[in-house]
Structure 1
Amino acid sequence: MECFKSNMLGKYVKLNKCEKVGIIDEIAQAANNNRFLVLFPDGSAEYVLWENFRVIVHSSEVKNFETEIIKPRILIKLNPEDSIKVLTNNMWTDARVESVDCNISTFRFEDGSREKLFAGSPRLSPLASILSSPQQIDQITGGKEKFGTIVQAVVPRIKQKRYVLHSCSRSCMVKFIPKLHRNQNPLLIPLRLGWIREAATTSSIDPAATTDSEASTDIEAIIASEASTAPAASTTSADALASDSPASPDSTDAATISASSVNTATTSTKSSSDMNSKSWTIFYISPCGLRLRDMKEVSLYLDICESDLEIDSFCFDPWINVRDEFRVCPGKVYIPDITQGKEINPVPCINTLDTEQPPDIEYSMTVLPKKNVRMNTAPEFLTRCLCTDNCQDRKTCACAQLTVKATALDGDEKIVLEDAGYMYRRLQDVLITGIYECNDQCACSSTCHNRVQQQPIKVKLQVFKTEKRGWGIRALHDIPQGSFISKYVGNLFSAEEANEQGHLHGDDYFCELDLIEIVERQKDGYESDVTDIEEEEEEANQDDPRKKFKSVRSFYKDGVDVYIVDALKAGNIGRYLNHSCDPNVFVQNTFQESHDLRFPNIAFFTCKFVKAGEELCWNYNYKVGSVPGRRIDCHCQAASCKLRLL
């Protein structure tokens, strides 16, 4: 029934008590005490429980119904005793707010009469003023392309189980079956499997309640003694995590504004600074009642319970609202799945601006080598690990060690970044020397922490039409920093063939596989034009004794300068990521099916927290003026925008 309720938005219903017909504008959720907000033709509104109405099936019952949901959804923030003008009998009448119930306010007029109105009703003078000004609408919503609202995903309300001392095992958890959780926000999966994501303010944690096991990082020690740190009264369950008040109705609004600040209205959302200022701490409570404080404890718990639930389904960032979902307004073009069913999770496409369709391409999840391209994927040329701990110890994982040793600044591989690589399947910063993931020859399982870009696309995304930048991609839920988004794939050409294709069809979707050159530019002593090492050593300037090395590229006998991925005619959703001068995504070279340095995989990861509804963009790093006679203007609208790409 919960899934059915989440699809009720915009449905026509008839109340059981009075046969009154209305339309649902807000689904039942914790923030509104599990009631549906119903709007009526006369402009009034009411919160109704599920059992008190029925869904209208026959259109004859609503043929004279004139009320519809106004998009974009802009709500006026009202407080008791606020004074406001309300449209009554075609006249603006003075009224005072008597009470507020979530998004419905009761107004008292001068003649003593009362009326309940929805906070998004155009009969409220501040909203009527906004709706008459396209400029103010764009200021609040971010423009036509961003019309939509943040809603709260429906999750089961679970009563916290009191922890009883026991030895955790497989029976402590509900079995995770991936196919049952397709097309879901991965951060919601634990909540649907009996976990609770709990928030507490740091100031409310009682040091006296901390036991000796609190200082321990051994999950077995924690299991041996109940280690609850925060009193129940100071915590908030995942159902209320979407805002810092458990009963706040604002969590469902795309834009909520104060009635007294119409001219300076701005979107009201809970930012990371809001959460940080209150020093939130996140805990996960397992189905057996054990409270876990960080990713390490969760990982150890999953291992002990022999669970297939993946570690990147958890997030301890307090600014992540795991139940926030972006729901866009109905568009003129809607495609349920632009991946043509090839991705496990569908990626919808929508156009709210015009009737243009997205380009017709061959959707592919891997690069497609063309003539004269030979990738070495022979298994005997791959390093393999023998790990049985999900490759959590990078010192013993052979694949993780390749990543670490690639960062070496000395020939003996002693000066390295020992923590290079993924941390619980997230990557906090770009690693220019590349990441070597585990492969099919390795002994580790699919839940391995070093298998990331080879996984299917897990985050929920949507392709949408922008006003000035063609098609783009937006996040449909909050995404933590360091999360994998997708790869960039397409036709794989040699430099010569790519040059021919560029002359015929353009190079807008070209991506050079130039990891070798990038790394060698960062490391001292490499010269791309060195042809004879001994000769260069003899001619080296005595004042610059640094040894020069021949480029790795020159040791390959194919004579190709660089290979190029072209996503113009074939590719995946990575081709739709736009440029931004202030990006929230970065590019990372990775290796999995081949360790050939000429053919890294191109993967996108978030470089910062991404809010539901936010567009995903990376920095193309074009150099202005590098192509004579060609100019491309930038329309990213970032505060640091350079105004030009080329």
Structure 2
Amino acid sequence: MSLPFKYTPDHVAGPGGDTDPTLITFPGCVCVKTPCLPGTCSCLRREKNYDDNLCLRHIGLEAKCAEPVFECNVLCQCSDHCRNRVVQRGLQFRLQVFKTDRKGWGLRTLDFIPKGRFVCEYAGEVLGFSEVQRRIQLQTIHDSNYIIAVREHVYNGQVMETFVDPTSIGNIGRFLNHSCEPNLLMIPVRINSMVPKLALFAAKDILPEEELSYDYSGRFLNLLDSEDKERLDNGKLRKPCYCGAESCAAFLPYDSSLYCPLEKPNTSEEGRV
């Protein structure tokens, strides 16, 4: 299969982004003679991020309110085998891009993946908000939209925004399809800087040959207030959802803030059309 995009394993700087995702801005820990543990390691603020099986400790819906995840970075003095280095090690399971019946390309696993294990990143160009709107407004109803908006609530009611587009430059995560009952959960993980890795972890045990999916809406946006649930405010039709889940919402999630030229995004966790 010829790739319709340029492959990158990590985020790259795109137009309008405030921070270059390749810059190293975090100091490293000084854990040389002792393992990285909460209370002594500067990268572990309150508790361990991963258990002894390298599974994310706070996987599930409760992760929405969990403490931020910071991994040890390239400046840390701990070893490469430190248990607080998981996402940065990259793919650990065999994944396969395949053609689905109704959803175009999809991604599945060839291995059993235990609940809580890291699966892959969603990597691409890190953009500014105005560039996101420009790109979306150029799309037609026939174009796929890969742009994801992740918003994290921080102190004093502030919201930290990250916009990633793997349309032209991205990794294997761009082939993940939406599901209203997903088997993956997206967690922002920071390693070298405040630009988060959009890490996807297994929300449950996943069997070999099972398609991998996550909820594009972050579980919050897949509802409409409008009586006409098929038609958007800008006149475009919503795209149907073919996930096949019992709780399927019938249409793919929609983040209206990305279509409004003068509006800033709302405070949902993450959203992708």
The TM tier, using the shorter chain, reads 0.7 to 0.9
Once the two structures are superposed, what CA deviation does each residue of 1:121-159 show, in whole Å capped at 9, x if it has no partner?
xxxxxxxxxxxxxxxxxxxxxxxxxxxxxxxxxxxxxxx
C-alpha deviations, 1:502-536, integer Å up to 9, x for none? 12236710111312xxx24xxxxx7xxxxxxxxxx
C-alpha distance 443-392 of structure 1, shift in aligned 2 (>3 A): closer
Residue number in structure 1 paired with 2:114: 480
Larger relative contact order (C-alpha < 8 A, sep ≥ 6)? Answer: 2
Quote the offset at 1:389 in angstroms. Answer: 6.6
Length-normalised TM-score, structure 2: 0.76
Q: CA deviation at 1:375?
A: 1.9
Give matches, 1:92-491, under 5 Å. Answer: 335=1, 360-375=4-19, 379=24, 381-388=25-32, 391=35, 393-401=37-45, 404=46, 419=47, 421-424=49-52, 425-428=54-57, 429=59, 431-432=63-64, 433-491=67-125
1:489–1:574 Cα contact (<8 Å) kept: yes
Q: Does 1:609 align with 2:243?
A: no
- 4+ residue stretches of structure 1 with deviation over 6 A? none
How many angstroms apart in 2 are the aligned matches of 1:501 and 1:460? 32
For 1:510, give the aligned amino acid: I
Q: Which residue is equivalent to 2:191?
A: 592
CA deviation vs aligned residue, 1:594-625 (integer Å, no higher than 9, x gap): 0x3xx211010101111111111111124233
Residues 639 and 368 of structure 1: CA distance in aligned 2, closer, same or farther (over 3 Å): same
Q: Is the contact made by 1:391 and 1:450 (CA closer than 8 Å) also made in structure 2?
A: no
Q: Equivalent residue of 1:500, what SS?
A: helix
What's the offset of the Cα at 1:462?
0.5
**CA 1:641/1:396 → structure 2, altered by over 3 Å: closer, same or farther?**
same
Match of 2:248 in 1: 641
Question: How high is the TM-score relative to the length of structure 1?
Answer: 0.34
Secondary structure at the aligned position of 1:422 is classed as coil
Q: State which of 164, 170, 195 in structure 2 corresponds to 1:571.
A: 170
> In the aligned structure 2, how far is the partner of 1:360 from the partner of 1:589?
26
Deviations 1:320-350 (A, max 9, x none): xxxxxxxxxxxxxxx4xxxxxxxxxxxxxxx
Q: Provide the secondary structure at the position in 2 that maps to 1:565.
A: strand
Give the CA deviation at 1:492.
Answer: 1.6
d(CA) in 2 for partners of 1:378 and 1:589?
A: 17
1:640 CA drift (Å): 2.5
Distance across 2 between alignment mates of 1:612 and 1:398: 38
Aligned-partner SS, 2:43: helix
Pick one of 142, 151, 154 that aligns with 1:514: 151
Q: Give 1:477's aligned amino acid.
A: D
| Count of residues in Structure 1 that have an aligned counterpart in Structure 2 | 232
The answer to whether structure 1 residue 496 and structure 2 residue 130 are counterparts is yes
Q: Using the alignment, how far apart are the partners of 2:103 and 2:144 within structure 1?
A: 16
Between structure 1 and structure 2, the one with the greater Rg is 1
SS in 2 for 1:454: helix
Deviations 1:227-262 (A, max 9, x none): xxxxxxxxxxxxxxxxxxxxxxxxxxxxxxxxxxxx
Distance in 2 (alpha carbons) for counterparts of 1:382 and 1:496: 27
What does residue 251 of structure 1 align with? Answer: none
Q: Aligned match of 1:551 in 136, 152, 158?
A: 158
Tell me if the contact between 1:586 and 1:607 (Cα under 8 Å) persists in the aligned partners.
Answer: yes
CA contact (8 A) 1:489 1:565 kept: yes
- Return the alpha-carbon distance in structure 2 between the equivalents of residues 617 and 373 of structure 1: 27
Which structure features the higher share of helix residues? 1
Q: CA deviation at 1:493?
A: 1.2
Q: SS of the counterpart of 2:173?
A: helix
Cα deviation digits, residues 544-581 of structure 1 (max 9, x gap): xxxxx36265xxxxxxxx44111111100001111111
Q: 2:209 is paired with a residue of what secondary structure?
A: coil
Q: Say whether the 8 Å CA contact 1:513–1:600 is kept in structure 2.
A: no
| Displacement of 1:420 | 5.2
In structure 2, distance between residues paired with 1:620 and 1:565: 13
Partner of 2:216: 620
CA distance in 1, matches of 2:92, 2:167: 24
Is the alpha carbon distance of 1:464 and 1:552 closer, same or farther for their aligned partners in structure 2, counting shifts above 3 Å? closer
Gaps of 5+ in 1: 1-334, 336-357, 405-418, 521-525, 527-548, 554-561
Superposition CA RMSD, Å:
2.4
Unpaired runs of 5+ residues, structure 2, are 226-231, 254-273
In the superposition, relative to structure 1, how do residues 499 and 378 fare at CA in structure 2: closer, same or farther (>3 Å)? closer
Deviation of 1:634 after TM superposition, in Å, equals 1.4
